[in-house]
Structure 1
Amino acid sequence: MKITAGGVAAAEWTKFSSLRSTWITTGISVLLLIAFGMIASASFTGDGMNSVDLALSGSVLAALSVGVLGALLGASEYTTGMIRATLAAVPRRLPVLWSKSLVAGAAAFVTMTAGAFAAFASGSAVLNDDVDALGLGDDGVLRALLGAGLYLGLVAMLGVALGMLVRSSAGAIAILAGLLLIVPGLVALLPDSISEAVTPYLPSNAGNAVMVTTQAHGTLTPWAGLAVFAGYVVVALAAAAYRLKKTDA
């Protein structure tokens, strides 16, 4: 029987959706986004933040959560040894990687976009009076909320790529956490001239640019930032594809 791209994608979706951990991790990701958005919206007083910024303040932890989900999807079959059966069924190998990343990215995009809109709605309901309240019709609001879903979908794809590259869930999660959480702090310790030049292009900073309604000085424009982050994902997928094609399972 001929193996089609759609068949491989359907098989990966079946694996993905049949795992209890998938739904637990997805639920936690959405909950983090909504809960932290509500807490920030209800507690923040002062200037410099608007209702969208506050609603999406849980995106850092949500990104780590969906990235973990992607890493587990990418690496779990190597842990159990089931990858040999998968690659025996799909001898061309690369469709497995593309399908896993597509499934994880699409699932994260849909759920986290819904979570972003829910966080915005719930956060707006408890917003302090002295915070700038924005509506869906205001400039940049829809783009920021949809951008949050796009960014988090790409984070899930990055997790898959890292999982299949290092073939270890723990290793992939450690690398992902380092890229998103630790590297920005380390770069901040560099001399100002270097830090200011590099910081906008770091993965998390570039991705976050699409989730703000106003561009701060020294940051990338929203779509340029998302494009830079997508570039990191492409590089990781290319590295995973090379290892998948050239080395044994």
Structure 2
Amino acid sequence: MTGILLSEWTKLRSLRSTAFTLLALAVLAIGLGVLISSGAGAGYAELPEAERAAFDPTQVSTQSYLAAQLALGVLGVLVISGEYATGMIRTSLTAVPRRARLLAAKAAVFTAVALVSGLVVGFGAFLLGQVTLAGTDAPHTTLAEPHVARAAAGAGLYLAAIGLLGVAVGTIVRSTAGGITVLVAVTLLVPAFGQGLPGGWGERLVRWWPTTAGSRVMTVKSDPDLLGPWAGYGVLCVAVAATLVAAFAVLRARDA
């Protein structure tokens, strides 16, 4: 297994798409986070009193995850779909006939890279976002405040989970375009359009949909209508694990 892990690490770090995608992740998470914080800070003085009371500096600075999650998700899809596109998957399966081991190694290596990258950009977006908010005289916070360090780290944990979801989706779909389409639908389209469902279904979807539930780990202020931070992240992890199980089953059952 050590040899398989080293092989997958060599594949991942030698691809140009890895460097470009991680660069896009940093730009989206940190750069967009600073822009959002700047806009929110500039408009804080004009907010109604109720919205001022609900203002969450941590959530403002990490809100860029909505766009950043696609970068790691796309990289996760490419980890496996790229091999199908080039035909390299046949070579990989010849070298590692036990398909479960191959996918486990890919998932493990990618998770390590995604987790480190997610934590770096999560804390980076938070710290620079708070500096930006402080410069506009809007409320800001520090890692020493209750639950703030967990929320900043939660941004990295969330991004890593979405990246691993991309690996699972890419394994099932076996197409880069198809995998990205599914990922965009799951992370952005369903939560956005599902909120308008009638009869309380919209509220249930916001509460229990894996990505919206998982994003609760990045919040500081509690909401009785939504899941708690770790409960919500647990829902996301269960969904990712279930998708990975399906990916293992599909990889073992289908021809390369």
- The bucket for the TM-score relative to the shorter chain is over 0.9
Within 5 Å, give how 1:1-249 maps onto structure 2: 5-44=1-40, 45=44, 46=47, 47=52, 48-127=54-133, 129-249=136-256
Q: CA RMSD in A?
A: 1.3
Contact 1:87 1:93 (8 Å CA) reproduced = yes
Distance 1:232 1:22, change over 3 A: same
The runs of at least 4 aligned residues of structure 1 exceeding 6 Å deviation read: none
Give the superposition deviation at 1:95: 1.3
Give the superposition deviation at 1:179: 0.3
Pick which of 90-99 and 195-204 moved more.
Answer: 195-204
| Matched pairs, number | 245
Give the superposition deviation at 1:216: 2.0
Distance 2:83 2:187 in 1: 25
DSSP 3-state at the match of 1:135: coil
Distance 2:254 2:122 in 1: 40
Report the residue type matching 2:55 in the other structure: M
What whole-Å deviation, never above 9, does each CA across 1:173-228 have from its counterpart, x for those lacking one? 10010000010123222114122122211122011100011122311111111111
Give the superposition deviation at 1:105: 1.7
Give the superposition deviation at 1:120: 1.5
Distance 1:139 1:15 in 2: 41
TM-score normalised over the length of structure 2: 0.92
Contact 1:50 1:134 (8 Å CA) reproduced = no
TM-score normalised over the length of structure 1: 0.94
Task: Give unpaired runs (5+ residues) of structure 1.
Answer: none
Distance 1:147 1:116 in 2: 8
Task: Give unpaired runs (5+ residues) of structure 2.
Answer: none
Q: Percent identity?
A: 38
DSSP 3-state at the match of 1:117: helix
